[in-house]
Amino acid sequence: SLYNLASLELRENLLTYLPESLAQLQRLEELDLGNNELYHLPETIGALFNLKDLWLDGNQLAEIPQEVGNLKNLLCLDVSENKLECLPEEISGLTSLTDLLVSQNLLQVLPDGIGKLRRLSILKVDQNKLIQLTDSIGDCESLTELVLTENQLQSLPKSIGKLKKLNNLNADRNKLTSLPKEIGGCCSLNVFSVRDNRLSRIPSEISQATELHVLDVAGNRLTYLPLSLTTLKLKALWLSDNQSQPLLTFQTDTDPETGEKILTCVLLPQMPSEPGCQDNLPRCGALESLVNEMSDETWNERAVNRVSAIRFLEDEKDEEDNEMRTLLRRATPHPGELKNMKKTVENLRNDMNAAKGLDSNKNEVNNAIDRVTTSV
C-alpha cells in the first residue's frame, strides 16, 4: 500500500522470497535486494515500469524472469554473485540500460539480444564460464568498459572492432590463443589487458588504436612484438612479472620464419613457467658465474635502474654496428623460475665456499702436524 514509495532498500537481510504485491509500487525507482537469500524473482517484477536501479547481487538466483525486459526505464541492473546459467533473450528490451553487472555467475554465453542495448556503457561479465562472446557485442555502440576477466574464452569476435567508444578492455586469465586484427578499430581504447592467456603474437593492427596508453600482455607465450607498436604513445607495457619499470628498452630484429621486422627485448620470447624448476640444476650452470660476480645489492640495483623508455637505433653508425652484431634471442624463463634458479646457484656457491673452508682448515691442520713433526 506504499503507493508513493520511490526507494526501497532491503540489502543484507535473510529474505528468501518477494511478495506479489511488490508490483503495486508503481512509483518505485530504486530497489536494492542485494545480499539476501533469494532463489526466485516473481514475474510481477516486470510491472515496476518506473524502476531505474535494480540490485540483486549476492543472492541464489538461478534465472531471471523474462518479464524483466519490460523495464524500459531501467538504467542499472546488478545480478552479480548469483548462480545464473543464462540471461533471458528479453533483456534486449532494456533499451535505457547503461550498466549491466553479471560478474561471478555461471554464464557460458550472452544472449544475442544484448546487441540491442545501444546505451549500454559498462558490461562486467568477469568470473563466469564464457566460452564465446556473441558477435552482437559490436552493436553496443556506447560501450566504454568491457570486463571479461577469468572466463574460458579462446577468441574475441571480429565485431569488437566496431566499439569506437571502448576505453577499457580487460580479458585477463582466459584461454585466448589469438586476437582479431579488428581490435585496432577500437580507436578510443586506453587500457588493454590480456594478462595470463595463451597468445603467441599481437596483431600489428593494434597500432591503429592510437589512444592506447597501457598494454598488459604479461603471462602469455609471445615470441616478439609488432614493430608498429612504436607508433603508439605507450605509458606502460607489461611483458612479465619481473619487470621493474613500466617500459623496456627494445631492439629491432627480423623474424627468421616470416622475414617480418619485429621488436624484441630481454623478456622475449616469453615462455610459461616450468614446474619443479628448482631441481633443474643443469639449466642453472650458466648463471653460476653471474651470481659469483654479483652481490645481492648489485642485482637489485640493476633491476631498479633499468631504462624506462623504448629506444631505437637512429644514426647510421649504430645501424652499422648493429649489423656487425648477431642478436641471439632465447626463451626467457618465467619470473618464478628465475628466482629459483638464482636461489639454487647461491646455494651452490655457499656449498662451494663451505667446502673450500673445510679444505682450508684441513690444510692448516696438516701444516701444523708437519711443523710439529719437523720440530720433533
Domain count, the chain: 1
For the beta carbon of residue 94, count every other beta carbon within 10 angstroms.
Answer: 25
Q: List, as one string, the DSSP characters of 244-271.
A: -SSS---EEEE-TTT--EEEE-TT-SB-
Residue 284 resides in a domain: no
Length of the chain equals: 376
Residue 120 resides in a domain: yes
Q: What is the chain's percent helix, strand, coil content, to nearest 5?
A: 35, 10, 55
User: What CATH number does residue 154 fall under?
Assistant: 3.80.10.10
Residue 186 resides in a domain: yes
Instruction: Convert the pLDDT of each residue in 24-44 to its tens digit.
Output: 999 999 999 999 999 999 999
Residue with cell 619499470: 245
What is this structure's pTM? 0.73
Instruction: Convert the pLDDT of each residue in 70-117 to its tens digit.
Output: 999 999 999 999 999 999 999 999 999 999 999 999 999 999 999 999
The yes-or-no verdict on residue 368 having pLDDT over 60 is no
Residue 271 resides in a domain: no
Residue 153 resides in a domain: yes
Residue 180 resides in a domain: yes
Give the mean pLDDT of the chain.
Answer: 83
Give 17's contacts (C-beta < 8 A, 6+ positions apart). 38, 39, 40, 42
Question: First and final CA of the chain: distance in angstroms?
Answer: 117
Residue 97 resides in a domain: yes
Q: Which domain does 24 fall in, by range? A: 7-264
Q: What is the model's pLDDT at position 104? A: 97
Q: What backbone phi and psi angles, to 5 degrees, belong to 251? A: -135, 140
All three cell numbers of 34, joined, read 542485494
Residue 324 resides in a domain: no
